[in-house]
Chain A
Amino acid sequence: MSDVKTNVEGDVVRTSDSGFDIKRLGRWETVTVFLLLMAILYGATTSGSDFLSGGNLNSILSDMSEIAIIALPLTLIIVAAEIDLSVASVLGLTSALMGYLWNHGWAMEMIIPAVLVIGALAGALNGVLVTRLGLPSLAVTIGTLAMYRGLAYVVLGDQAVADFPSKFTEWGFGTFAGTQIPNPFVVFIVLAVVFFVVLHMTGIGRSIFAMGANEEAARFSGVRVKRIKFWLFVVTGAISALAGVVYAFRFASARADNGAGLELSVVAVVLLGGVSIFGGKGHLLGVICAMLLLGTLRNALTLNDVSAEVLTIVTGSLLLLSVLGPSVTARVREALRRGRGVDAPPTPTTT
C-alpha cells in the first residue's frame, strides 16, 4: 500500500511497510531477476545441454544448500539492521561436535537435537552481547566468528570424522522423491516458506522491518526491539547449526574447517537480493533469486573452465554490486523525480 511518488521522507515510510508488495519487487530485485536470467542464458548458450541437464540442476542446488538455508535467518537479521558473521563458524562448530559426539558413541538421533541446541546457545550468546550489553553486532560476531571456529578445532582438532551411518549420508547426497531436487535443498524450501510467512505476513515481520528502519521509532511504538533481536540471533544460531548437520551429511565428513569462509557468500546473497545493509528494506524473494543467481553463475563459469581465482573475483564483484546497486538505483530514481536535467552535470549551479 505504499506510495510510488514518495518524497524524501517517504522512503522511510515505505520501508517500514513489510507487507507483500509487488512494487518493491519492481526495484533492485528486478535487477537480480534480470541478472539471474542472464546467467541462465549464458550457461545455456555456452554449455548447452550440459548446463540444462537435470544432473547439473541438481549440482547447482546442492552446492547452494547451506548458503541458502543460512541466508533465510540472516535476511531477517539484516532487515533488523544487525549482522551475524559467525554463521559459518557455528556451522563448523556443530559439524565438529557431531563428529565428536559420534566418536563418543552417541546415537545420531540424539546428536542432531543436541547440536541444534548448541547452535541456538551460540546464537543466544551473540544475542545477549548485542541486546543486553548494547555492543555492535558487527564487532560481536567477528569475535564469535573466530571463537566458535576456534572451539571447533578444540573439539575435533585436525581430524575428520567420516563414519556416519549411511542412511544419513545417503540422504545428504540423495534427491527428493525421484526428482532432481537434492534432499538438503528440500530443507531450504520448507524453511523458506516459514521465513517468508513470518517476515512478510505477520506482526513480527512488520516489527522487524520497523526496527530496522528506525529503532527508536519502533521502540516508542511498542515494538519489543531487544527481545525480537535476541530471538533472531537464537534462530540464526539454530538454523546455522542445522546447516552444519546438512553439511556434515552432504559431505559425509565432520571437520572443524567445515564451511570456513561461507559467511561471505551468505552475506553476498542476502545483500545481492536487495536487502539493505542499513536495515529496514528487503524481500525474501529477492534473496532467493540472488541465491539462485550466485549458484547458476558459479556453475556456468565452472562449466566454462573459468579458474577458481576468477570465480572469487566474480563473487566479490557481485557483493560490491549488491551494496552499490540499490543505492545507485535509489539515487537515479531520486534524480529523475527532482526533474530531469537539473542534476545531469554534477557541478553546482550556484554558490
Chain B
Amino acid sequence: MAIRNKAFAALALTSMLGVAACGSTKDDEESATSTPAAEATTEGAAAAGGEIKEGLKIAFLPKQINNPYFTISDKGGEDAVKAFGGEFKRVGPSDTAASSQVSYINTLTTQKQDAIVISANDANAVVPALEKAKAAGIKVVTYDSDTAPEGRDLFINQAAAEDLGRSQVQLLAKQIGPEGGEIAILSATPNATNQNTWIEFMKDELSKPEYSKLKLVKTAYGNDDDQKSFEETQGLLQAYPDLKGIISPTTVGIAAAARYLQGSDAKGKVKLTGLGTPNQLRDFVKDGTIEGFELWDPGKLGYLAAYAAGALASGVITGAEGETFTAGDLGERTIGAKGEVLLGPPTVFDKANIDEFDF
C-alpha cells in the first residue's frame, strides 16, 4: 500500500516537474520553460517497424528488490523477455532511498545492457545517471513510477486517471444493482492530487444518465491514516443510514473501511469498492465484506514494459508519439503523448481470481 502511495506521489511529482533551466533563484528557474514533449512529437513516427531482435540484454531495476509488488511486475517482465528471446536480469537496492538506484544504473551502463527498465524511487535523482546511460546508447523505459521526461524514452503508465476514476463507479454500480441509492467516497487527503483527479472522473461518470439513480452524498477524507479512515467510515454510516455503497480510491482507506464494515451490521449491505492490493484485502473478499475491487495487474505492467524496452532496443520504435508496437499477449500498443504507453483498464479482483495474485 505504501508502495502505491509513493508511486502516485512520484507520478504527481513528475507531472508537476519537467521545468528546469539555469539561473540562481527559483524565480529565474520558473521563467524558463522547456517543452520536451513537444519536441518529441515533432520528430514524428518515422523509421519505425520491424521485429524485436533476439539476444537483447534487458535489465529491470525496481524500486526495491525484495518487495512483493515488484516481484510480480518483474516476473511479468521476465516472461516477456524470455518470450522474445532476450537476456533478462533484475538488480536493485534493498531500500528506497532517493539515491540508491544510481549506482545500479551506473553499473548497468558499464555492463552495456541494451535497455534498462526502471521504476524510479526519485523522479529526479536518477535522471543524470539515466542520461549518461542513454548517451551510451541504452534505451530507458520507466514503469510504475516515472522520472522526469529527459531521463527516459518511454513511460508505461499503469494508472490512467480517467480509466481508474470511471471504472470504480462502474464497478460499484454493478455491485449495488439497478435500484441505485446513496453512495459516498472515502478519499485520502483533501488535496491529494491523484485522488482528486479520479474523483473528478467519478463525478463525471456519475453524471451520465445510466447512473441517475446513484446519488453521491458525501466525500469524506481519511487522510490516508488508518484510524481516521476507520472513524470516517463509521461517521458516514451514521450520517447516512441508507448508504448503499462506498468507493475508497486509496489503499489505506479501503482497508480501514473494510475493517469497519466487517464488524458492523452493514457488512454485505453497504458495498465497498476502490483501489487496493489482493494481499491486503483477501480476507475481506473471502468473507463477503468486499465483492470486488480494482488495481492494475503488476505482472502485465512488467510484461508491457519489457516489450516496450525490446521494441526500443531493436529500433522497432523510437519513442515518438503515434508509433505502435506489438506487446506479446497484450496485443498492439500505441505511444501516447509525452512518451507514455497506457497499460489499459484496471484488473478487477474478486473471489474468483484473488488467489492468483500475491502482492
A interface with B by C-beta (< 8 Å): 50-51, 53, 55-56, 59, 63, 102-109, 158-160, 162-163, 165-167, 169, 172-173, 247, 250-253, 255, 257-261, 298-299, 302-303, 305, 307-309, 312
Contact = CB atoms under 8 A, between A and B. Distances in A.
Interface stretch (B94-102, B197-205, B280-288): B94-102
Given A258-B98, A308-B92, A165 B23 contact: yes
A258 B124 contact: no
Contacts of A106: 25
Contacts of B123: 160, 162
B263 to A, nearest CB: 32
B98 A257 contact: yes
A142 to B, nearest CB: 20
B25 A160 contact: no
B103 A63 contact: yes
A166 B94 CA distance: 30
Contacts of B128: 169, 172-173, 251-252
Nearest to B17: A162
Contacts of B35: none
B109 interface: yes
B21 interface: yes
Nearest to B129: A173
Given A165-B29, A252-B127, A303-B110, A108 B98 contact: no
Interface in B107-157: 107, 109-112, 122-125, 127-129, 132, 148
B122 A59 contact: no
B216 interface: no
15 contacts: A63-B102, A102-B26, A106-B25, A162-B122, A162-B148, A163-B17, A163-B29, A169-B128, A251-B128, A252-B127, A298-B103, A299-B103, A302-B104, A308-B92, A309-B65
B133 to A, nearest CB: 11
A165 B22 contact: yes
Given A163-B26, A308-B92, A309-B94, 9 more contacts: A50-B111, A59-B110, A63-B106, A247-B99, A251-B102, A253-B98, A259-B99, A303-B110, A309-B65
4 nearest A-B residue pairs (beta carbon): A162-B124, A59-B106, A251-B125, A308-B94
Contacts, number: 121
A323 B122 CA distance: 35
B91 interface: yes
A107 B25 contact: yes
Contacts of B28: 165
B19 interface: yes
A46 to B, nearest CB: 12
A302 B103 contact: yes
A298 to B, nearest CB: 8
Interface residues of B, number: 44
A291 B104 CA distance: 19
Contact of A251 (B24, B98, B111): B98
Contacts of A255: 98, 122, 125
Contact of A302 (B19, B24, B91): B91
Nearest to B148: A162
A160 B98 contact: yes
Contact of B124 (A251, A261, A308): A251
Given A106-B25, A108-B24, A165-B29, A253 B9 contact: no
Nearest to B9: A158
Contact of A299 (B92, B102, B107, B124): B107
Given A59-B103, A169-B128, A299-B107, A163 B91 contact: no
A261 B9 contact: no
B32 to A, nearest CB: 10
B124 A303 contact: no
B167 to A, nearest CB: 28
Nearest to B5: A158
Contacts of B180: none
B27 interface: yes
A63 B99 CA distance: 10
B89 interface: yes
Nearest to A307: B65
B94 A312 contact: yes
Nearest to A302: B107
B207 interface: no
A102 B124 CA distance: 16
B57 to A, nearest CB: 12
B93 A308 contact: yes
Given A107-B24, A108-B24, A303 B125 contact: no
Nearest to A255: B98
Nearest to A66: B99
Interface string B10-36: 000100010111111111111000000
B156 to A, nearest CB: 22
